[in-house]
Amino acid sequence: MTPKEVLEFAKKNSVVMVDLIFTDFPGVWQNFSVPIDQLEESSFEEGFGFDGSSIRGWQAINASDMLVLPDGNTAALDPFKKYPTMSLICNILDPITKEPYSRDPRFIAQKAVNYLLSTGLGDIAYFGPEAEFFIFDDIRFDQTSNSGYYFIDSKEGIWNSGKDEGPNLGYKPRYKEGYFPVSPTDSLEDIRTEMVLMLQKYGIEVEAQHHEVATAGQGEIDMKFSPLVNMADKLMTFKYVIKNVAYKHNKTVTFMPKPLFGDNGSGMHTHQSIWKGGEPLFAGSGYAGLSEMALHYIGGILAHSKSLAALTNPTTNSYKRLVPGYEAPVNLAYSARNRSASIRIPMYSASPKAKRCEVRYPDPSCNPYLAFAAMLMAGIDGIENKIDPGQPLDKDLYDLDPEELAQVPQMPGSLEESLKNLEDDHEFLKKGDVFTEDAIMTWIGYKREKEVDAVRMRPHPYEFYLYYDI
């Protein structure tokens, strides 16, 4: 929408407040609101001021003033607010130079798309994430100098099969058997449907919703693929909607990759392809119906996966899911249909328009603007340098003998390892000034100080089980 159209939209819907939304560096929506009479056509050029020093990973306190610049194309009515409220996703500007802020994740994603255009390889990159999540009934956690704990509960949790619930009616999905029985075993069908309806109010097209593999309310709602920046906007909206619908029902949602021990974690398989002039460029006569460009794109992803992990799997908890021999695809190989490979070529349709690659190791804790931009840059690097992805592995990678498996590279085993890989391998991200050296080093420093070291310095509850009697 143009600024004028946004104001007309607001008037038509009796909007009284405008919610100005942006994504912080780690990947969480932030906002502040202004009365509708503060929004003018000039606001879309002049922006609104805020304190950037209070946002994680951003400005120092001596240079804290920043601007949010609303994007009129993102205008939407917020269905969760009591009073009529219009939301606008914003970009971040420096108030002095009026230049886009180099650490703004949305700006980084926009630069990645512009870099694709500058190469002439394509004019659009489509992304389609499948973000899994858990819907719990209760979560309690704390960490002090002399204690640390968490308690999760769900009426669906198989651990409650013997609980006196007055009455307990059973029908709780067993571990790894949540994919996907009908109700009453799946008790969350209606809530997920309400989530779908709310997403549709935002104009987000949904393809399917279902229970996922784990017990205790794991779910998935699949959105139709979209261009990169638009898809990242949608995924941030998706998280907001899913959490707020659950909250309305006195339930809580987490996109944490591995909240439960002994059952599947939540991944975010990410489908991607490049098009030009309305034509798909990943379809061809090669392996699994792929073009040479697609194979080189896969080669780039595989070549840089160990550094990409710092952005696609950016939490210490991510590596509780990425464990060799379990459900997550840690082996850096590609294959048609084979879900044990880290990159899969879906074979549901023979249509060239459906030809894509599915990168399976990312998880929904990531900042989608940074993760999508990084994967696109890795794929472009593969195309430009004609990186050979090697031979496909169509065997079940979990059943390979140790000697054969040893020849297959694997994802990093920790966030610290991923950050070291990013530190050593990030030149491909800097092409076209998409990721600046400052943005990359700030990410690495923030993650090491605020997450890696913070977790490393705290005793783990299981360590008391293992070592207390030493």
> Catalytic residue numbers?
51, 130, 132, 212, 220, 269, 339, 358, 360
- Long-range contacts made by residues 63-70, C-beta under 8 angstroms, separation at least 24? 65/95, 66/92, 66/93, 66/94, 66/95, 66/101, 67/92, 67/93, 67/94, 67/95, 67/98, 68/20, 68/22, 68/92, 68/93, 69/44, 69/45, 69/93, 70/6, 70/18, 70/20, 70/39, 70/43, 70/44
CA dist., res. 327 & res. 421, Å (int): 23
Measured torsion, CA atoms of residues 26, 417, 424, 339, in degrees rounded to the nearest 10: -80
Q: Which residue's entry shows tokens 């084979």?
A: 338
Q: Which residue's entry shows tokens 């638009």?
A: 230
In what helix (H) or strand (E) does residue 191 lie, and over which residues does it extend? helix 189-201
What tokens were used for 384?
Answer: 């430009």
At 71, is the secondary structure helix, strand, or coil? Answer: coil
CA dist., res. 171 & res. 181, Å (int): 10
Q: Bridge partners of 144? A: 147
CA dist., res. 321 & res. 406, Å (int): 20
Measured torsion, CA atoms of residues 9, 15, 16, 17, in degrees rounded to the nearest 10: -70
CA dist., res. 219 & res. 221, Å (int): 7
| Number of other CB atoms surrounding residue 379 within 10 Å | 29
Q: Are 1 and 75 in contact (CB under 8 A)?
A: yes
Tell me the torsion sign for CA atoms 177, 180, 185, 190. Answer: positive
Q: Bridge partners of 127? A: 226, 272
Q: Are 445 and 423 in contact (CB under 8 A)?
A: no
Q: Are 335 and 391 in contact (CB under 8 A)?
A: no
End-to-end Cα separation, the chain, in angstroms = 66
What tokens were used for 424?
Answer: 């050593």
